[in-house]
Amino acid sequence: VTNGGKTTLAEKLKKMLPNCDIISQDDFFKPESEVETDERGFKLYDELDALYMDEMVKSIHNWMKRPASSGVVTEEMQNTRDNLKNGDDVYILIVEGFLLYNYEPLNELWNRRYFLTLPYEECKRRRSTRVYQPADTPGYFDGHVWPMYLKYKNELEENSSNIVYLDGTKSQEELLSRVYSDIIQELKKLKE
């Protein structure tokens, strides 16, 4: 969901996890001139066609061939390394975005999937506090953003499994704790 806390969660996880990088779907938006406009004049940013998804897949595959991390080790990262008690480094890539699980070429890559949800009123409130370039036009949230969220969420619920749905109204700390714990368990399994 838009404004659900995806980027914030990813950035906090990166600070806590060793050998961790982020690829953000927002970095793959097409320029405004290449994004289609509907009959109401709304730019259709909340659709896969508004993104260079092939480029995103290439970036992920390139990272997988040669994973790298920032090289900065925080105290939290060192504690995580110590707790895992194995010298073999595991590299973690967090891919964050809003239409990731609806793009079939990516679905074979995920170890874990998380989907942040928000109720309509909270989502609209948060969206109204953000500044976008180009700016949201009047009626854009109700006329395009929210309907597209519901469409893609329904597709996921019908066609995908192994997705953990997270309540975006929970505190950042609670969400972080939940996902961090899951990742640590996954890392322990990989190291066994």
- Catalytic amino acids? 26
Q: Give the tokens for residue 164.
A: 């953990």
The CA distance from 97 to 114, in Å, is: 10
State which H helix or E strand residue 156 sits in.
helix 146-159
> Is the CB of residue 20 less than 8 Å from the CB of residue 81?
no
Residue 116: CA count within 13 A, CB half-sphere: 25
d(CA 28, CA 2): 16
| 68-74: Cβ within 8 A, 24+ apart | 68/21, 69/18, 69/19, 69/20, 69/21, 70/21, 73/18, 74/15, 74/16
What CA–CA distance (Å, rounded) separates 60 from 94? 10
